[in-house]
Amino acid sequence: MQAYKTIDEQLHLLCQPLAKVNEGFVSPAADQSHTNLSFDPVSGRIYARWIENGTGKQILALNTNEQKFEWLDENFQVKEKVAAANKSIVEIEQAIQQSLTKVGLSPDKFPKGMSYEIPDYSFAGQAIAKLDSQACANWQKYRNLANLACQQTLTYLQAVEQVRIWPHHFDTGIYVEANQHIGVGFGFAMADSMIDAPYFYVAAYPLKDKSFGQNTLPNLSDGEWKVSESWHGAVLSAEKLPVDELENNLDKVAIFVKECVDSFFLLRE
């Protein structure tokens, strides 16, 4: 799992230029969702958002297989590439800023910073080495699982939302106001202070009341509850989800979601 955590951090840093392009060229949203990203397991690309340049649409993506940034047109044809291997993030951002002119966009709109901060990774000032191919393949499998699990959860909640990667915390996630009382957050997160491994989470957020009552929480088939004054939810570590067992993992996550969400519906002051 350490190799996965390492590539998670590397990709987190590498995705910041995508978020900056979104910030500079996509209409802003109050919740900052205009900066978020998406992962396509078919191409192995992490996409920013579509941008209009007056003559058509284009999108910037990080090709995780080739470790290159790619500008694609609306026919998904690559029009411009920026190599990312063995370059520092500063060098990469400078090259992407220079590429803006070639795709009909103004380099002056590329922001210097963002409204959030990410961890100060030890390698942030160094050249980012070529990504480990096996670790990258495993990262793609887990993020594909996350995409599928998010869609599965949306169906369970009968909701329509985008499955996106948030560049701040780098989680693949969704948020749904399940009823008039409760919002439900679900996703797949990086290892952090809550749990030292990547993990799925389900969390409830009160919409009308300021807090939830002290209802007895049911035992979970997999995962564990993590409840505090500021967070009411549960986590399921990826260590319990073998990377090559997609169908079994989806079933485990589905049970985890159902057990958590069903208990949320019973929450009251």
pLDDT average, residue stretch 68-86: 96
Residue type for 107, please?
P
Range with lowest mean pLDDT among 6-10, 138-142, 203-207? 203-207
Query: How do residues 214-260 score in pLDDT, each as one tens digit?
Result: 567 889 999 999 988 888 999 999 999 999 999 999 999 999 999 99
pLDDT average, residue stretch 10-38: 97
What is the predicted pLDDT for the residue at 181? 85
Q: For residue 221, how many other CB atoms are within 10 A of its CB?
A: 11
Residue 96 has pLDDT above 70, yes or no: yes
Instruction: State percent of the chain over pLDDT 90.
Output: 85
pLDDT average, residue stretch 190-205: 95
What is the predicted pLDDT for the residue at 213? 60
pLDDT average, residue stretch 162-189: 95
d(CA 175, CA 65): 29
Mean per-residue pLDDT over the chain, rounded = 94
DSSP state of 87: B
pLDDT average, residue stretch 1-30: 96
d(CA 17, CA 218): 42
Pairing of strands 172-177, 68-73: unpaired
Directed axis angle between helix 2-14 and helix 89-99, to 10°?
40
